[in-house]
Amino acid sequence: MLTTSDQRGYLAYSSLLVAFATPLLLLLPFLWDGSSSFLLFQDAQDQTYAWWQKLAHGWNAGYLPLWDANIYSGRSFAGEIQASVYYPLTWLWLVLFAQDGSMPRLAIELSIVLHFSIASSTMWCLLRHWKFAPAAALFGALSFALMGPVAERAAAQPNIFFGLCWLPLAVQFASLHVESGRTRFALAAGAVIGLQVLSGHAQPAIHTALLCGVLCSYFHWRREPTHYQRLRAIARSGAPMIAALVLVALPQLLLSMEYLSDAYRWVGPDPIGPGESVPYRIFSRDFSVAPMQLWSLIDPWRVRWIDNNTLHLSVLGLLMIAMISARKTWRERLKQLLPHWPWMLVVSVFALLAMLGHLTPLAHILRKLPVLGQIRQLGRYAILFQFCFCVFAVAAFTVLQQSVVEGRRQAAAIVALMATGVLASSLYLAGGLSKSSIFTLLLALATLATLLNTFLRRRLFAPMALAALLCSAWLYRPLTLPAAGSSPLPEQAFAELTVLAPVLADYGQARIILDESTGLPKNYADAHSMQSRLGHSATMYRPYFDFLAIDWSLNSEINDLLNMRYVLTRNELDLPLLGRDEARKLNLYQRPSAYPRLFLASRYGDAAHSAPESLTLEHYDDHRIEFRFSLTNADTVVVSELTYPGWCAFLNDQPTAIHNAVLGGREIPLRAIKAPPGDHRLRFEYRPFAARIGGCS
């Protein structure tokens, strides 16, 4: 016979299993039948889907791609950070699902759904660590994972979503650290934040570090008697966290700092250079929240926030917090249950003021700070509000479940619930509320009505609250998981085109200009063996952009030097036509003026005869390029590949220096190698870490 302790243990493990399994059961059926997809929006298709194809291609070829030869005429793949190259779950997925140089869409979707389960499970573990009952922890875990800015981020920028899912685990380790004083928990918190960096974006790590920093500072400030001791204690907590963060994320940090130190960022129509501040208008206005948009807490189906930052964490949770706030004895009970409430309340107010942008002075202050000033979308501070809101809702859940409502207060509560229901129905009839919001609100009111009867409260409140939450999550699902139809599925958008067969055959020997009129994804080349002039990402290597900006016209010499031999467009051009896709109305043209991938500086100005004798391409992939050619006289060989730190050159197996090419008296960011007469084998290898430590010898 099971003891009471055993029964409690099974109940806890069962609730954890439900927390993990619910997102799978809620989301997977709609992905399996193709009716919905997380990969419909531009960032999700052009970055997540396309870069998974690049990862799978490199993995199947025997390497983990750190350089991307397919877009922007070559770029740092890992340095852009959002490709998640060093994320351990990326490696696991490559082992399990990469096949024939590609990653199936369903495998990518499964990775996203798995992170919903991670978000729910990590939040459950944190709430259980803070001594909440399994049912209450389950309520908070599902609220955190299935609604609000965490869930909506999955379809907008999955790489940011991946990082957000680990946030509760880092907070739990920070909480364990301040409770026990053990350094190992501070190291664990920093390691989780480092994992967030590896998952594909710095913003989740910054937001999590804010939470952990405020948590530790609050408790040290309360415990230590003097300012000096407080600051020393805070430093003792922060130092191991920072050390672990840097150690875990070091490969990513090295490549990202190297790349971003000389890259433009796109935060508006115009790029900003390294170290430049985001323009105040963009920082404080473009992605902030108007006060009326806070109505999304009640009706997210009608009121949406820009960039998927909509605040909605269940109407039931909101009403429970409102009920607790209305009664002093309940507020005191909440404070006893949640000793973290002061710092979480401060964080909630801070997040709300940050989201309001230019409407408060906080935006001006944040823009001046060295790290926070680089987060251009103030609406993304919604994650801090969501986290704290979920914890407060769980505390309110617990207080209400354990409280008794006296007869006089029962009558007042009944009147309040009925009045709220009538008001909500009136707003719905007047067009002020959507059908989904009125349903969830009435369901929440019915759940709260169980509190008025002691018998019902003890037996039905928890299951009814969880049922109401799941109904809300079900209605919220279309906002989290968009329906396919309005946008093509990524495998359709990235489908291989027969007309591009000549381009695929010339991989490593010619590049293509994919005109915007084609309607193809901007990172189309990443999913195929082709190389394009441009792509889609938040950044671009500055020397390359400056080189293109000399002349953006189609027939520019810049395109010639970049080996742009092909053009795909819907327009009619005065160029030799190589093929036509009648179904899509696409024309493939050839640019005869393009220089070959390798040419001689002495023959600059004569593209048709600029290649050395017996030029052959022996090997070409992201990390290794090999040519063979012969020279009658000593010359400078120009290779239409970007000069970039970490690339090493070997002429006849001997290390040789790479210089920026100088053509027509102008220095350009293409590789130039001096070579004597004779037969030569020229090899380039990308060695970002070895070159940094020991050079190219």
| pLDDT at 374 (0 to 100) | 72
Nearest to 639 by CA among 623, 617, 621, 655: 617
* Confidence band for 270, pLDDT divided at 50, 70 and 90: confident
Two tokens at 44?
């999700």
Q: How confident is the model at residue 1 (pLDDT cuts 50, 70, 90)?
A: very low
Q: Per mean pLDDT, which range of 127-141, 156-170, 279-293, 579-593 is the poorest?
A: 279-293
Residue type, 484: A
Amino acid making up residue 492: Q
Q: Considering the chain, what percentage of its residues have pLDDT values greater than 70?
A: 94
pLDDT confidence band for 9 (50 / 70 / 90)? low
Closest CA to 483 of 39, 134, 50: 39
Strands 613-620, 586-590: pairing kind:
unpaired
Q: Are strands 666-675 and 635-642 parallel, antiparallel or unpaired?
A: antiparallel
Percent of the chain scored above 90 by pLDDT? 65
Average pLDDT value for residue range 578-582: 93
Which CA distances in Å does 616 have to 389, 561, 643? Answer: 63, 18, 21
pLDDT band at 420 (very low <50, low <70, confident <90, very high): low
Lateral strand order in the sheet of 511-514: 511-514, 564-569, 586-590, 577-581
Q: What is the pLDDT of residues 505-520, one digit of tens each?
A: 999 999 999 999 999 9
- Cβ atoms 187, 243 nearer than 8 A: yes
pLDDT, averaged across the chain:
89
Which residue pairs from 419-424 have beta carbons closer than 8 angstroms and sit at least 24 positions apart in sequence?
420/445, 421/445
> How confident is the model over 65-107, as pLDDT tens digits?
999 999 999 999 999 889 999 999 999 999 999 998 899 999 9
Provide CB contacts within 8 A for 265, sequence distance 6+: 271, 272, 538, 539
Strand 598-600 to strand 635-642: parallel, antiparallel, or no bridges (unpaired)? antiparallel
CA gap 523, 108 in Å, rounded: 17
Annotated domain spans of the chain: 166-261, 490-590, 598-694
Q: Is residue 433 over pLDDT 80?
A: no
Architecture of domain 598-694: Sandwich (2.60)
User: Residue 120 above 60 pLDDT?
Assistant: yes
User: Do residues 674 and 656 touch, judged by C-beta distance below 8 A?
Assistant: yes
pLDDT digits (tens, 9 = 90+) for 341-397: 999 999 999 999 998 888 888 888 888 887 777 777 888 899 999 999 999 999 999
Rounded to an integer, what distance in angstroms lies between the CA atom of residue 663 and that of residue 245?
A: 45
What DSSP assignment string belongs to 227-239?
HHHHHHHHHHHHH
Looking at residue 455, its pLDDT comes to: 65
pLDDT at 581 over 80: yes
Taking a C-beta distance cutoff of 8 angstroms, is the pair 356, 291 a contact? yes
Distance CA 253, CA 79 (A): 8
Q: What are phi and psi of 647, to 5 degrees?
A: -85, 130
Query: Mean pLDDT, to the nearest integer, of 629-633?
Result: 94
What is the pLDDT at residue 2? 45
303 or 121, higher pLDDT: 121
Q: What is the pLDDT of residues 141-156, one digit of tens each?
A: 999 999 999 999 999 8
Nearest-angstrom CA–CA distance, 313 and 108: 26
Q: Is pLDDT above 80 for 459?
A: no
Q: Are 661 and 558 in contact (CB under 8 A)?
A: no
Apex 559 CA angle, 554 and 561, nearest 5: 155
